[in-house]
Amino acid sequence: MHRTAATEDFRGADHHLALIESACDWAFITDSAFSICYAHKCNSAICDILPVNLVGQSFENFLPADARIGVMHLLRTECGDKKAASTETVYTDPLTGLYQVKCIQMGVEDFSGYSITVRRVTPELLGHLRQELYGDSYRTIDKHASIQLGQQKLIADLSSEFAKNSDATPDKLFDYALRELGSFMGVDRCLIFRHDLKSKTYSVLHEWHAPSVPSTKDILQNIPYNDDDEGFFQLTTRPYIAVDDTFQYSGEAYRIQRESGVHSFADLPILCNGRFWGFLGADYGSGPHYWTDSEFHMLQTIGSVISATLEKNEALERAEKASRAKGEFLSRMSHEIRTPMNAIIGMNEIAKSSNDPQRVDYCLDKIDQASHQLLGIINDILDLSKIESGKMEINCTEFNFGKMLQNVYNVLQPRVEEKGIEFTYDLQTRCDRCMISDELRLTQVVTNLLSNAVKFTPQGGDITLRARLTEERDSNALLRIEVQDTGIGIVPEEQAKLFHPFEQAGGSITRRFGGTGLGLSICRNIMDLMDGKIWVESTPGMGSRFMLEVAVQLGDNCMERLQDIPDLENTRVLVVDDSTDVLEYCQQIISGFRMHCDIAASGEQALAMVADGTPPYNIIFLDWKMPGMDGIQTAEALQRLVPPETIVIMISVADWSDLKQQTAEIGVTRFLAKPLLPSALFNTIVELIGIAQSNVEEEKDGVCYAWPGKTLLMAEDIEINQEIVRTLLEGTGLSIDCANNGAQAVAMYCAAPDRYDLILMDVQMPEMDGYEATRKLRTSGHGNAVDIPILAMTADAFSEDIKRCLEAGMDGHISKPIDVNELMEKLAANL
């Protein structure tokens, strides 16, 4: 009631109405706690706030955030404490400018409160305000208002210019910003400095200077600094630094400033994507200058605009670079895929038109090579897809490291022999225990590194694979693998690109040597997933050395048969080779088998050692190609010196068929291919001293698979795939029934459940896919539906695909294209 009376009194007062209509933007009535009881907005107000929304709120909420503390403190101390009947002040709204606030105490009946008016002060009206309102300070307020309005206009103009010319180069925009900023602030120079963190220098990239002021751009180039410099430390840890008078300071940086005509300067850091990029500077040369908060605010605003422009430009450059790289990659992929496809199609046409069996066999061999090359390209692309989608997983199992390296070399051996490359192992690592890691991914990385080494090493070059176990502690160790070659090498600027997808060595290298350019990127990502690292050291023309390190665990003993040989210490071995590395390597490995091992660097030295040796050697490993007396000559001479029970083994990179006839005549009936792996040496020695091999990793070559009386149900919608499986399983005695989709497979099984012993199930099929078909079979209640082996046979080869197959009720997974050995092994395990 009292508030209503106060409002009516306010509205009814002629002087108040006149004030509201002619002089104010806002008028308020508040209670003694400055809570708004009434609000009136005049037509001249440029604020969008509705008066009704302010009633009931504190007057403080109406004020801009930056002005609240100061204005409310004045109102409460002057009027609130009854020290004065009225008070006046000004504040700045960052959006709409300068305002005058006038507060008058008022009282109606039992109500006491305040009448508050708010008036926007324009530059035109500011000089006409009553001087008694501000006293002698009105000129300062006038200047402050002008600065505020000028800053707002400059920032608005700069923002408009940058937005309007977004396609312009940053250089033009920065030159424009420095010109406008320098002219407004009245400084002698405005500059943008760029820091080079590699060379520890800074230089002026852009400069604006007043007409009568000399330029310093040519002088302030490549100025050295270090991380301990106070100026550099301040720039990277503080919002800004300012020096009012350079003549008050000593030091190299201030000396350079003074010689450049700088008497006072202010610098602010410029960040780009959170990284220190450089700094924005302004300076005076005519004398000392005391920098104000308003000037710092202006510099910080322009610095923010520059940072945003740099980040936008950097993002555009990254996008354009990625787009170019992907375009080049697609071009390479087109070439890489079409090359083996051309070979497959061409050789197929030649084979169809030829009646010469040898010619047909030649074509089939080339088709096989091209098919595997194409499969490798597809696997690289799929691996990259898995990595980018986060679907590649690491699965650690126990495996024989030496056996793994032998399998890798077996894949590369034909190409190594074709190019006459000297391939050497240097394995200073324990070979008696298995390793626990992801064998598949580790094999993939080592194969890629060795394949690249073979590809880029010229005819007759050298490749060495080194492996070390370091930091062994209990069953944990760090595995370090190095692949060193004498190939073409890599220039430094290309080395940084090697491990990034789409950014490989130059296109000329790709055209010359081929390849997808994805292998090393995949290797790096695999190492990241395994918490390892991979890097390269290379000199152009001298070769490269790729290195990786990854943590592994040591498993069980993988050479348990040595424990069954009581007289190992009495077994004497001699290794003859002209390579010092090979001799040291073999001696280390064989000595690790608890055998006595001597080495000889030539045939002549070996003969002398045999002649003087007592007791005689049990086994002699003899290199074929040695300078002076070669392996065949040495073996012929040894035949007259050693007892009949001494076994001479020829070692060579050549094929045994080339040497068998020559060596048989001089008593050499054993052969071991280089490079020598611990597992190969171990198996050969164990076999020769009469111990039966019972290793679970025994080769399965020559195994005959036969399942007469068994029937297989194959669900496969592609006719050629049905034909391939039928042909591969010819001679095994299996009967095969085919279903063209999942629904037909379910119907065929349910009609005769006792007929089938195993089901091969494709996943992607029309009508009903393999997952649904498997679930329906398992729950059908017919025959042995719960237990019958169901193997997925699909091109979906990701780990999540395999997991999904198992979750649907399948017992295993066979990848397409079909590997014959995998198919036979999976069938043998389930039939």
716 or 163, higher pLDDT: 716
Structure tokens at 292: 């104000």
CA distances from 186 to 5, 157, 281 (A): 56, 18, 13
Contact assessment for residue 257 and residue 246, using Cβ atoms and an 8 Å cutoff: yes
Check pLDDT > 60 for residue 378: yes
Give the pLDDT mean for 259-283: 86
Query: What pLDDT is recorded for position 17?
Result: 46
Query: What pLDDT is recorded for position 739?
Result: 92
pLDDT 10s digits, 439-458: 878 888 888 898 888 888 88
Query: What pLDDT is recorded for position 329?
Result: 62
Closest C-alpha among 239, 389, 371 to residue 301: 239
Contact assessment for residue 133 and residue 88, using Cβ atoms and an 8 Å cutoff: yes
- Name the packing angle between helices 519-529 and 357-388 (round to 10°): 50
Lowest mean pLDDT among 499-508, 618-627, 742-751: 499-508
Contact assessment for residue 225 and residue 250, using Cβ atoms and an 8 Å cutoff: no
Query: What pLDDT is recorded for position 231?
Result: 60
Query: What pLDDT is recorded for position 702?
Result: 47
User: Whole-prediction pTM value?
Assistant: 0.49
Grade residue 316 by pLDDT with cuts at 50, 70 and 90: confident
pLDDT 10s digits, 288-310: 888 877 788 788 878 888 888 88
Query: What pLDDT is recorded for position 325?
Result: 65
Check pLDDT > 70 for residue 125: no
pLDDT 10s digits, 174-206: 888 888 888 888 889 899 988 887 778 888 889
Lowest mean pLDDT among 82-86, 426-430, 478-482, 680-684: 426-430
Closest C-alpha among 398, 468, 427 to residue 679: 427
Structure tokens at 641: 């010196």
Q: Is 544 exposed, middle or buried (0-12, 13-18, 19+ CB in 10 A)?
A: buried
Give the pLDDT mean for 671-685: 76
Grade residue 711 by pLDDT with cuts at 50, 70 and 90: very high
Grade residue 673 by pLDDT with cuts at 50, 70 and 90: confident
Buried b (16+ CB within 10 A) or exposed e, 645-658: ebbbbbbbbeeeee
Query: What pLDDT is recorded for position 810?
Result: 92
pLDDT 10s digits, 42-90: 876 776 677 888 888 999 988 888 888 888 888 888 887 767 788 888 8
Closest C-alpha among 530, 514, 538, 552 to residue 380: 514
DSSP category for residue 35: B
CA distances from 328 to 342, 360, 511, 731, 799 (A): 21, 37, 12, 48, 30
Lowest mean pLDDT among 141-155, 238-252, 645-659, 815-829: 141-155
Instruction: Answer positive or negative: Cα dihedral of 801, 806, 807, 809.
Output: positive
Check pLDDT > 60 for residue 542: yes
Bond into 678 cis (ω within 30): no
Structure tokens at 480: 């370090």
Query: What pLDDT is recorded for position 67?
Result: 84
Q: Which amino acid is residue 522, in one-letter code? A: I
Query: What pLDDT is recorded for position 728?
Result: 83
Contact assessment for residue 715 and residue 776, using Cβ atoms and an 8 Å cutoff: no
Contact assessment for residue 193 and residue 279, using Cβ atoms and an 8 Å cutoff: yes
